[in-house]
Amino acid sequence: MTGVLHGVDQRTQMVGHNRLELLLFRLTGKQRYGINVFKVLEVMPCPPLTRMPKSHASVRGISHIRGRTIPVLDLGLSLGLGALNEPSTGYIVITEYNRSVQAFLVRGIDRIVHMSWTDIAPPPRGCGPNGYLTAVARVDDELIEIVDVEKVLDEVVHKRTEISRELTGPTSGAPVRILVVDDSSVARNQVARTMQQIGIESVLAHNGRQALDMLHGWAEGGRSITDQLGMIISDIEMPVMDGYTLTAELKKDPRFKDLYVLLHSSLSGVFNDAMVTKVGADRFLAKFDADALARAVLEKIRPAGQASSARPH
């Protein structure tokens, strides 16, 4: 397994072209699941684990790996599929999400597949709002389920959405609306809750394509989009159209090129700053810190002191 992620650093060339690579793995049965390779630091056989008292039920223990103490979550248990009986027979997928490093215990590693975001669809409606999927994809005539890791982590280590008192209160000037684009229901709610506390109303979209369609509809009335929206806060990895592609599409359209775009993602890596510049986004901010997000928005909204009360319909 040491060679599974060999050369991952060279894969950043796909970013900005609406493409990704998925690491496929299995949990308790034959069903295969996937996560974005860009969030994976390492894959290895499960090392010995030290159980921590009073930890969350999904946390099977901690392990000291390469000078770092890492919590190991049983992903099957987190998804309600049951625990892996013998952790030593499984593998851990070490990831970096939302400013933290953690490992997920899985039964087996399959392989990495190279895909386009256009081939990845939102989860079926029947999954309901409480499901653990952000998307599905077809590989080898089999449906791959892409896990909403942000939801899993939020249930284990709940992220604070209350902002500091000095940041609360309405923004100056007329009401402001922003467009929040994210495929994770947890992430959308975190952003909307943060915006609510600073007096900003959120319009929600589940992926870049849906956001772009909404903007086209609002622009048909002939009014300036910047008079209707204060800014866009967008995730990067999403089905159908990712955040980099959405930003590039906006910046090449005269109607949308002046929209302020903040890319807000759990993706990490040195390529983020370069990609922000490449696609024309205005800022990158790593998920999720309520105060940091509120400050980033207020730095854009408050100094201007003006925002139209016109609202998109």
* Residue 178 CB coordination number (10 Å): 21
Residue 269 pLDDT greater than 90, yes or no: no
Counting every residue, how long is the chain?
313
For residue 165, the model assigns a pLDDT of: 82
pLDDT at 113: 92
Ramachandran assignment for 305, one of left (phi > 0), alpha (psi -120 to 50 degrees), beta (any other): left
What is the rounded average pLDDT for all residues in the chain?
83
Quick one: average pLDDT of 109-128?
81
Residues 6+ apart with CB under 8 A from 75: 27, 33, 104, 105, 106, 147, 152
Per-residue confidence (pLDDT) for residue 254, from 0 to 100 = 92
Decide: 16 and 275 in contact? Cβ < 8 Å.
Answer: yes
pLDDT surpassing 90 at residue 55? no
Total-model pTM: 0.77
CA distance 192 to 204: 8
Q: For residue 235, is pLDDT > 80? A: yes
Residue 237 corresponds to which tokens in the numbers above? 């990895």
Q: What is the pLDDT of residues 6-34, one digit of tens each?
A: 443 344 445 556 777 899 999 988 999 99
